[in-house]
């Protein structure tokens, strides 16, 4: 038999351990692992590299600041260069799903370079009624924003395809909406992703800090304190236990929130937690400017260390980037309050986790694989994804743990014109990204065409 592609010479991280084998690929799937190099259409020499499953980013925002028909092209380019072969988009619509979702999915199907899946945010009763429609369209996970309501209820929705202008809205994710989403998701057998910050606490905290004339990322953190995260986690988990719903708390990075996750798990809640590279790599202590403004805020060094601890002890299941494809012109305001929250992070996920994690001895390469692909594939039921073994999709990223490179704005070819990590020299980068058996990126050189990426089939998660 002639194989389409063989990856030879790498150490390969598989579900049953790390082995020195060649990966054989046929028809986009892993056909087997072998110590031989059989005849093949393309041989990828990977001596000295580590092969891990193509990364799955469970948390990306694109389609907000540019419409998805453009954003999927630019941001899936970043993803491919960064080693991500499955992008999970946080869709936010200001209209009923029946009205807005089909056009979003149609535009997405023409525009991605790598595979993708969608989480649907739910903001009101009408959208709760449309959750069944989403599930029929292959969107089988839902997101709630407990930070949005009252005086802090403003949000930018995703633009309709081909649009080109920001779509602002006011929403009220009240306790009743939270309960309704959790109940409906449970009945559909779908997990709920939770942005866990209590909007009343955040609204008050921000007003107070602003009134006192405070500024900077430290003030931003103080105004949205970790106990507002813990409070929201407590509230949603009580609802989850009532209805038997699986919860996935996104972007947890503070000690208090992590302790709350452990407590809820001990109470029997089916709860998973995600952190982001910025909670592991950044603190507000000694950091000037407003670029790293994000919700929830980056915290202290002690919080960051507890996030690393949670990554190691399994409190954290997955790492997602919370990638936001925005630009400096909107981002940077006159003070922290006027600056836009969120920043790009897809391109730097692997190097940050390799530099600060694997190469610093904080996590193993097997942890890296679990955190960046295996867990998300299981939790969100991504068929064929998250593992290198016979029969799985041949989504593979070859990592060079020794290469050093300086982060530069725009280096990944995305929509954003700045990078929070600009100037940092990181050790450990993706060398080659393979998506369903096709080499889509070598170094930062991406060669794949829009439309090749597919909506990933979703099974029930576990």
Q: Least distance from C-beta 451 to Zn ion, angstroms?
A: 26
Shortest distance (Å) from residue 250 CB to Zn ion: 6
Closer by beta carbon to Zn ion, 57 or else 322: 322
From residue 397 to residue 436, the character string flagging contacts with Zn ion as x (rule: CB under 5 A) and all else as - is: ----------------------------------------
The β-bridge partners of 195 are 145
Contact call for residue 322 and Zn ion (CB under 5 A) = yes
Q: Kindly write out the interface string for residues 271-310 of this chain, putting x where it contacts Zn ion by CB under 5 A and - elsewhere.
A: ----------------------------------------
By C-beta, is 143 or 255 nearer to Zn ion? 143
* # residues contacting Zn ion (CB under 5 A): 1
**In angstroms, rounded to a whole number, what is the distance separating the alpha carbons of residues 182 and 122?**
10
- Smallest distance, Å, CB 324 to Zn ion? 7
**Considering the complex, what minimum distance in angstroms separates the CB of residue 342 from Zn ion?**
7
- Min dist CB 61 to Zn ion, Å, is 6
Q: In angstroms, give the least distance from the CB of 158 to Zn ion.
A: 13
Residue 176's CB is within 10 A of a number of other CB atoms, namely 11
Cβ proximity to Zn ion: between 46 and 261 the closer is: 261
Q: In terms of DSSP H, where are the helices of 156-298?
A: 175-188, 199-211, 217-223, 226-243, 255-266, 277-281
Q: Toward Zn ion, which CB reaches closer, 70 or 322?
A: 322
Tokens 């997405």 correspond to what residue?
Answer: 108
Q: By C-alpha distance, which of 204, 198, 202 is closest to 146?
A: 198
Residue nearest Zn ion, Cβ-based = 322
Least distance to Zn ion from the beta carbon of 187, Å? 25
Shortest distance, CB of residue 181 to Zn ion, whole angstroms?
16
* 3-state class percentages of the chain: helix first, strand second, coil last, to nearest 5: 35, 25, 40
Least distance CB 341 / Zn ion (angstroms): 9
DSSP tag of 158: P
Which residue's CB is nearer to Zn ion, number 198 or number 322?
322
Query: Closer CB to Zn ion, residue 322 or residue 419?
Result: 322
Binding mask 148-177 for Zn ion (x = CB under 5 A): ------------------------------
Q: How far apart are CA 97 and CA 131, in angstroms?
A: 8
Nearer to Zn ion by C-beta: 143 or 356? 143
Structure tokens at 253: 């990075």
Query: Of 107 and 249, which CB lies nearer to Zn ion in the complex structure?
Result: 249
CA distance 233 to 227: 10
Alpha helices in 83-148 (DSSP H): 97-109, 125-129, 131-136
| Residue whose structure tokens are 């009240």 | 174
Please choose, out of 134-142, 315-323, 397-405, 442-450, the segment that lies near Zn ion by the rule CB under 5 A.
315-323
Does an H or E element contain 71, and which? helix 68-82
Question: Rounded CA gap, 243 and 191, in Å?
Answer: 12
Q: Which is nearer to Zn ion, 127 or 321 (CB)?
A: 321
Give the separation between CA 158 and CA 445, rounded to whole angstroms: 29
Strand order in the sheet with 318-319: 318-319, 271-275, 247-249, 192-195, 142-145, 115-121, 84-91, 55-61, 323-324
Which stretches of the chain bind Zn ion, using CB under 5 A?
322
């Amino acid at each position: 038999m002639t194989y389409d592609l063989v990856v030879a010479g790498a150490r390969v991280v598989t579900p049953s351990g790390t082995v020195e084998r060649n990966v054989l690929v046929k028809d986009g799937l892993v056909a087997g692992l072998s110590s031989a190099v059989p005849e093949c259409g393309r041989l990828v020499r990977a001596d000295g590299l580590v092969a891990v499953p193509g990364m799955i980013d469970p948390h990306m925002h694109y389609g907000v600041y540019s419409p998805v028909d453009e954003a999927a092209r630019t941001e899936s380019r970043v993803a491919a260069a960064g080693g991500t072969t499955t992008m999970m988009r946080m869709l936010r619509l200001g209209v009923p799903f029946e009205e807005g979702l089909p056009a979003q999915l149609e535009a997405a199907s023409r525009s991605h370079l790598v595979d993708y899946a969608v989480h649907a945010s739910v903001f009101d009763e009408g959208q709760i009624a449309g959750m069944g429609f989403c599930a029929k369209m292959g969107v089988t996970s839902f997101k709630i924003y407990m930070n949005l309501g009252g005086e802090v209820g403003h949000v930018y929705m995703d633009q309709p395809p081909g649009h080109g202008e920001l779509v602002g809205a006011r929403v009220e994710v009240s306790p009743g909406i939270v309960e309704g989403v959790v109940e409906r998701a449970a009945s559909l057998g779908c997990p709920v992703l939770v942005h866990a910050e209590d909007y009343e606490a955040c609204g008050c905290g921000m007003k107070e800090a602003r009134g006192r004339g405070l500024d900077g990322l430290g003030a931003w953190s103080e105004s949205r304190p970790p106990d507002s995260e813990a409070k929201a986690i407590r509230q949603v988990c009580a609802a989850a236990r009532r209805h038997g719903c699986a919860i996935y708390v996104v972007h947890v990075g503070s000690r208090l929130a992590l302790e709350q996750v452990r407590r809820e798990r001990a109470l029997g809640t089916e709860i998973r937690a995600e952190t982001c590279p910025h909670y592991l790599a950044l603190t507000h202590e000694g950091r000037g400017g407003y670029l790293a403004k994000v919700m929830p805020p980056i915290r202290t060094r002690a919080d960051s260390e507890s996030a690393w601890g949670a990554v190691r002890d399994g409190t954290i299941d997955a790492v997602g980037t919370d990638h936001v494809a925005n630009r400096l012109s909107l981002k940077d305001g006159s003070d922290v309050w006027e600056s836009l929250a969120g920043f790009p992070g897809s391109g730097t996920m692997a190097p940050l986790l390799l530099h600060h994690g694997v190469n610093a001895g904080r996590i193993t390469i097997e942890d890296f694989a679990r955190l960046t692909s295996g867990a998300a594939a299981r939790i969100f039921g991504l068929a064929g994804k998250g593992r290198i073994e016979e029969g799985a999709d041949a989504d593979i990223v070859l990592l060079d743990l020794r290469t050093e490179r300086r982060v530069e704005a725009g280096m990944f070819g995305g929509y954003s014109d700045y990078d929070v990590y600009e100037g940092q020299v990181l050790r450990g980068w993706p060398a080659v990204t393979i998506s369903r058996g096709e080499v889509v990126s070598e170094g930062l050189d991406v060669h794949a065409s829009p439309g090749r990426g597919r909506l990933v089939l979703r099974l029930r998660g576990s």
